[in-house]
Structure 1
Amino acid sequence: MTAAPTYIQVLLPVKLRWIPTYRADMPLQAGRRVCVELGRRRYDGVVWRTLERPDLPPERIQPIVAVQDELPRVTAEELRFWEFLSDYYLCTLGEVYKAAYPLLKLRSEQTAADILARLQQRLARKEEQLAGRHGERVMQRLSAERDALQAQLAACRAQSGSADKPGRPAPGKPLVLTAAGRREAYLPALREALAAGRQALVLTPEIAFCDRLEALLAPEFGQQLLVFHSGKTPVRRRAAAESLRSGSPAIVLGTRSALFLPYRDLGLVVVDEEQDAAYKQTDPAPRYHGRDAAVALAGIHGARVLLGAAVPSLETLLNVRLGKYDLADGPAAAPRAEVIDLAAERRKNGLVGTFSRKLIDAVRRTDGPVVLLRGWEKPEPLQDEIAALFPDRSIRVLTLSALKREGASGAALLAVLQADALVSRDDFRADERAAQIVGTLCQFAPRVIVQTAVPARFDAARGTDALLDERRQFGFPPYTRLVEFRRQGSGEVVERHFLPRDRSLAARKAALAAALPTGTYPDVDPLD
């Protein structure tokens, strides 16, 4: 008697507003990997769910091509995380799957599957040899070789098919750290996670921050520290994924792509520089925010959350106000820079080209390295100005992104020639960005000078409480949620919708997604 077919929905790494249904000859649980056909193309898919009744006539439902047991299963926690990203950021599950398992990652997994197949073939040949007649010494050697192959095979299978661990309730509220030594404060929490046999994630906005944190963490945690970002080779990244999949206690240090790794028992999530705009994915979908996605991932796993920033985002500070987050040691004093008003200096003939006379004097009086940050200035004319004004000094000129990447090499003075260029847009987020930029700069040098045409924007005396009150008065985020419709290709904003931050939010977002104009895409919580 033929067994009744099983009907399953299968996620494919393509943008589909629906989840295709297929037929299988055996029960398949969510997370199993299968090969299927769609539109005459074959795809590596993931079983999303089993259907009691198919949503199509059975004769119209295609069978799967194959079950891919050689590929690791996707965990229940991964699937829940994908669903959160799809629902909140108004994209398809297929787009999330493609981000989580890009082509290079799939090829890397196939390489691991090929290794598994070769081990099985070698073991079969070794068993055939053992079945023959041999002397005692040869039999001992063949037996030892067989045992070694069996051990390798068992290790590979354990990595690709270890059981999901049950989720745990989140241990308290996220904790916000603002003190100067906050990175050192990560260490005891990381030790505690490893001692409990759990895994930890330390997220950074850019590779440069990864490199600096690696210098802090590597001496302490050695081989238990797994660094994961686009600068690492596919082999290194696959090894990190396999280590996590096996359930081994480990610390992952990475950029936002590390959110998609197959954690088995995540006990701690640290988001360093949580205010940094680089956490926001712009293209392609899912256009998620790494900090908010990390907090959601921690909730799925029952993991503790630490958020670190010299000047936290207003979103985080509002959560502190509302009692959703805790602030360690009370509010820290905002980092301060010396502000030079370019308009005032111009009125009193206090400018020499790009430089104010105040900045020229500060550079000449500084004992130690000086780093200048340029904005709109062209490099070649600027170097000519520097050579004329400071003929006896070697001065580094960097952009903000280069500063984050390379550091300031022990600079005694860090000066911004035109700070307004770093804010990029004059919108409701400009004052918040300015405060956060100053906070970032103050981490690189003991003295920071900012030249600006809008001095009030960079004045630390205007605290975050005032900024939050202003946002509430005008109905701007974080008191509302912003959804923009942007034109495909150019990214031009076509429509902006400020939605109430209440129980109606999900329904309102879904209604917006249903009314999306042709040729546009939604961007939830945009930062630029």
Structure 2
Amino acid sequence: MPLLDQTDLPSAGTIYADVILPLALRQTYTFSVPEEMVRQLKPGLRVEVQFGKNKHYTGIVRGLHGKKPGHKTKPILSVIDLEPLVTENQLKLWAWMASYYACTLGEVMNAGLPSHLKLTSETTITLGPLFSDDATQLDDQEYMIVEALTLQHELTLKDIRDILQKKTVYPVIRRLLDRRIVFLKEELQERYKPKVVRCVQFSPAYKTEAEQIGAFELVSRSEKQTAVLLEYLQVSRELPFVRRVDLTKRTGASDAVIKAMVKKGIFEFYEREVSRIGSGEEDTMEAKEMSGQQVAALTQVQSIHASGKPALIHGVTGSGKTRVYLELMQKAIDGGGQVLYLLPEIALTGQIVKRLQKVLGDKITVYHSRLNNMERVEIWKAVLAGKTSIVGPRSAMFLPFTKLELVVVDEEHDPSYKQQEPNPRYNGRDVAVYLAWQHKAKTILGTATPSLESWENAKRGKYGLVSMPKRFGDIAMPEIVLADAREDDGKGNRHPFFTPTLLNEIKATLERGEQVILFQNRRGFAPVYFCPTCDHTIECVNCDVSLTYHKFQNRLRCHCCGYATSTPESCPACGEPEMKLGGTGTEKIEDELKIFLPDARIGRMDLDTVRGKNALAALLGRFEAGQLDILVGTQMVTKGLDFERVGLVGVISADQLLRFPDFRADERAFHLMTQVAGRAGRKHRQGKVIIQAFDRSHPVLTDVFNGDWDRFIERESKHRAETNFPPYVKMIHLQLKHPRRNTVEEGAKLLGSWLAHALGGQVTPPFEPAVARIRTYYLQEMVIRMSADPKEIARVKNIVNRAVAKLKTTEGLTGVRVGVDVDPY
């Protein structure tokens, strides 16, 4: 159904609205539009509707039309917004994502709208703290609600309908909400409340300069009041408003002094709504002169953009790609446009924002899931008004851009751009390219290690390629050493985690006053807790995986479902009292380092240590300030962080990366090791990288050692093409799950037979994955391969969608869940 505005509506007859509901419905649901709402409704507005027998939801109007649906329609109950919350471009993006990633519009809506802008099924309202018993400004309906609230304290939506004897009550509630007379407590609650500060201003009797001079006579006997008055006059010339707290801080006067001046009629208090969005208070400074390589890259990118193509910048770590981005961002913003700068991880936003705000000031704003609800609402509204540009992870793409001119996808190769669960299972890099095309904006993809998909797009001419092979300032690339993990200390003693080569280099680096980063791609203390007598391993009760031991908590924890338990005193199988730990995690690396380097200041950067809103920024701040000597971390430490004092990077176990059961294992291992190596020696001197491995002759390690991207990509491309893997074919991964093994196997067998009949050899037979049970659900999987032709992809997805829908209605198999992942892994 096309999106219609009010000028396209039929002149007579009932008007209908297609509404997107936050449910996994295969299509939008149609509601009739009451006559009084016809001129009010537009695509993108939130509306209150009844869906099902008694449930109320907030949906998004997708389109308006005059075509009567084939089902009995219910009317829209109320319109929540005065202006559209979601733009037409966003609605089109949602529709494209639902189609391409084989999911529903409701699932995309859930991913696209911040949680605080979604309204749920039940409403409870109560009087706001600002209500002052003054009912003179209330109309009859508002007065009835407020009067009831003074007696009952809380009212549900049903209560209000009964009191007013009408079905549509939200407009009345909204008026009371806007004036802060009431607020919503739970469901159907807009959780956003503006941030207000207590401010001071002259009362109406002292508006003119002559009247203000007279005020000095009233306070002449009080030195403190005179000082406050003088300070107020000074501050009011510099700032648009004067906060009460600032006035007391500047003068040292107490609140009582200011209150006394209010009693005299000189000042009055008022509340002002202020933004929670950071203002980038660092002074804007001009960037340093660009290098010749940066100037050439900038010229090439502009030429590629002039031809209408995205630009892929392949620049080694430390080559100065960010400066090239910055020049183009500055130009777009100076022209009144918006910029979207995407990063794979929240971990990077703090450092990048500092760099960008030094040049762009408060024209660039950070957006991510760790912001509180109030901050995210304000950013949403600022972007909708075209007032700010954004830096953030993949969720930032869902913001309502109205003047988007440039999209930058930094570290475009990173797997964190891929959403795994729940739907939509999208790749942020690919959606960003579509988003830019949709807005006719320019696109930059940047990385030191391009993904094979982007590299192929560049080879085929779909993207323009820009190379930056030298580090900024001609600083040498780090020296790479491949250390034999079997190496001993010359006396036959061998440590399981640290070779003598690595330990000696760590000590030498710290003696020079430099810092060390150690990379271990497993968190926790030990990934296996087992019995040395009978070899029994303690596994998760919900998943077919071993529990990881966390020493700090002294608990065993599942990294799939979060299940945790205490360590058993003896083996549950044979009673052996001495249980053993196997494997190595970041917590154990940190613990062992303290034995060898008792005076070193060690920090750990993994999911366990950076859960809080400010924990990550605090950790990185300590490392950047030199308060930590060694940073031990998982792949978070590979994500483009830039620290000038890092002299050594160590990779504890390269073999773990290369043995992962995934067709992208070699590519990701090359990316991770190259990226983490790039953290060393980025400022003043050549750094060193030590990679520990048992199989030092592995081709990927040889390529990392030689810095030979061309050889690696040539070999990997050839292997993928010969074995029919992306990017040379398209893939869809199907995962079925159910609490009963027999049921999921039966469902997989039936679905597999339907797909095999329609697709032949394009689909693999169902198979059990390496981890066969997660969160109490048994798993079965299938993989479909197809050509990259858009018509063939659409055909296959249509077959898959119909087969999955049929399985959901098959007797005995209705409880089997099927996840469809387009472009998996």
Normalising by structure 2, what TM-score?
0.54
Which residue, 480, 497, 522 being the options, matches 1:354? 497
- Cα RMSD over matched residues? 3.7
SS in 2 for 1:501: coil
Question: In the alignment, what sits opposite 2:116?
Answer: 104
Question: In the alignment, what sits opposite 2:391?
Answer: 253
Checking the alignment, whether the CA contact within 8 Å between 1:70 and 1:113 is kept in structure 2 is no
- 1:510 paired with 2:751, answer no
Question: In the alignment, what sits opposite 2:675?
Answer: 440
Structure 2 Cα separation of the partners of residues 234 and 247 of structure 1? 20
Question: In the alignment, what sits opposite 1:232?
Answer: 371
Amino acid at match of 1:526: P
- Number of paired residues? 483
Amino acid at match of 2:446: G
Which residue, 719, 737, 747 being the options, matches 1:470? 719
Higher relative contact order (CA 8 A, sep 6+): 1
Pick which of 237-246 and 322-331 moved more.
322-331
Task: Give the deviation of 1:259 after TM superposition.
Answer: 0.7
Structure 2 Cα separation of the partners of residues 358 and 71 of structure 1? 64
Task: Give the deviation of 1:360 after TM superposition.
Answer: 3.3
Structure 2 Cα separation of the partners of residues 383 and 199 of structure 1? 43
Checking the alignment, whether the CA contact within 8 Å between 2:732 and 2:821 is kept in structure 1 is yes
Structure 1 Cα separation of the partners of residues 96 and 734 of structure 2? 20
- 1:525 paired with 2:819, answer no
Question: In the alignment, what sits opposite 1:153?
Answer: none
The percentage of counterpart residues that share the same residue type is: 32
Checking the alignment, whether the CA contact within 8 Å between 1:198 and 1:265 is kept in structure 2 is yes
SS in 1 for 2:821: strand
- 1:497 paired with 2:635, answer no
- 1:369 paired with 2:515, answer yes
Checking the alignment, whether the CA contact within 8 Å between 1:209 and 1:404 is kept in structure 2 is no
Pick which of 511-520 and 211-220 moved more.
511-520
Alignment of 1:392-411 (within 5 A): 396=630, 398-403=632-637, 410-411=645-646
Structure 2 Cα separation of the partners of residues 327 and 372 of structure 1? 33
Q: Structure 2, unaligned stretches of length 5 or more?
A: 1-10, 129-172, 183-203, 209-274, 276-304, 472-476, 522-582, 603-629, 681-686, 739-773, 808-815
Alignment CA distance shift 1:86-1:215 (3 Å): same
Alignment of 1:251-330 (within 5 A): 251-329=389-467
Task: Give the deviation of 1:352 after TM superposition.
Answer: 3.0
Question: In the alignment, what sits opposite 1:31?
Answer: 44
Checking the alignment, whether the CA contact within 8 Å between 2:635 and 2:672 is kept in structure 1 is no
Structure 2 Cα separation of the partners of residues 466 and 114 of structure 1? 65
Alignment of 1:22-61 (within 5 A): 22-24=31-33, 25=35, 26=38, 28-39=41-52, 40-57=54-71, 60-61=72-73
- 1:182 paired with 2:318, answer no
Amino acid at match of 2:308: G
Pick which of 311-320 and 490-499 moved more.
490-499
SS in 2 for 1:21: strand
Q: Structure 1, unaligned stretches of length 5 or more?
A: 122-136, 142-155, 157-168
Alignment of 1:478-493 (within 5 A): 478-488=727-737, 490=774, 492=779
- 1:449 paired with 2:510, answer no
Structure 2 Cα separation of the partners of residues 335 and 482 of structure 1? 37
Question: In the alignment, what sits opposite 2:103?
Answer: 91
Structure 2 Cα separation of the partners of residues 384 and 234 of structure 1? 37
Structure 1 Cα separation of the partners of residues 725 and 392 of structure 2? 31
Alignment CA distance shift 1:92-1:240 (3 Å): same
Checking the alignment, whether the CA contact within 8 Å between 2:408 and 2:443 is kept in structure 1 is yes
SS in 2 for 1:515: helix
Residue by residue, what CA displacement relative to the aligned partner does 1:247-299 show, whole Å, maximum 9, x if unpaired?
23x32011111111110110000011111111111111111111111111101
Amino acid at match of 2:651: V
Task: Give the deviation of 1:487 after TM superposition.
Answer: 3.1
Checking the alignment, whether the CA contact within 8 Å between 1:203 and 1:253 is kept in structure 2 is yes
Residue by residue, what CA displacement relative to the aligned partner does 1:79-108 show, whole Å, maximum 9, x if unpaired?
111011101111100100111124323369
Alignment CA distance shift 1:170-1:480 (3 Å): farther
Structure 1 Cα separation of the partners of residues 797 and 479 of structure 2? 39
Alignment CA distance shift 1:9-1:393 (3 Å): closer
- Computing the radius of gyration from Cα coordinates, the structure with the larger value is 2
Structure 2 Cα separation of the partners of residues 301 and 335 of structure 1? 41
SS in 2 for 1:431: helix
Alignment CA distance shift 1:331-1:115 (3 Å): farther
Structure 2 Cα separation of the partners of residues 326 and 67 of structure 1? 46
Task: Give the deviation of 1:438 after TM superposition.
Answer: 1.7
Structure 1 Cα separation of the partners of residues 351 and 386 of structure 2? 27
Structure 2 Cα separation of the partners of residues 444 and 91 of structure 1? 39
- 1:421 paired with 2:650, answer no
Alignment of 1:8-19 (within 5 A): 8-19=17-28
SS in 1 for 2:118: helix
Checking the alignment, whether the CA contact within 8 Å between 2:363 and 2:389 is kept in structure 1 is yes
Amino acid at match of 1:99: A
Alignment CA distance shift 1:171-1:285 (3 Å): farther
Residue by residue, what CA displacement relative to the aligned partner does 1:368-388 show, whole Å, maximum 9, x if unpaired?
323322344145654564355
Alignment CA distance shift 1:234-1:409 (3 Å): farther
- 1:339 paired with 2:339, answer no
Pick which of 218-227 and 405-414 moved more.
405-414
Alignment CA distance shift 1:170-1:284 (3 Å): farther
Amino acid at match of 1:178: H
Checking the alignment, whether the CA contact within 8 Å between 2:405 and 2:440 is kept in structure 1 is yes
Checking the alignment, whether the CA contact within 8 Å between 2:517 and 2:649 is kept in structure 1 is yes
Structure 1 Cα separation of the partners of residues 728 and 324 of structure 2? 30
Alignment CA distance shift 1:71-1:52 (3 Å): closer
Task: Give the deviation of 1:53 after TM superposition.
Answer: 2.2
SS in 1 for 2:179: helix
Amino acid at match of 2:336: G
Task: Give the deviation of 1:72 after TM superposition.
Answer: 3.2
Task: Give the deviation of 1:341 after TM superposition.
Answer: 4.2
Structure 1 Cα separation of the partners of residues 442 and 103 of structure 2? 28
Alignment CA distance shift 1:276-1:424 (3 Å): farther
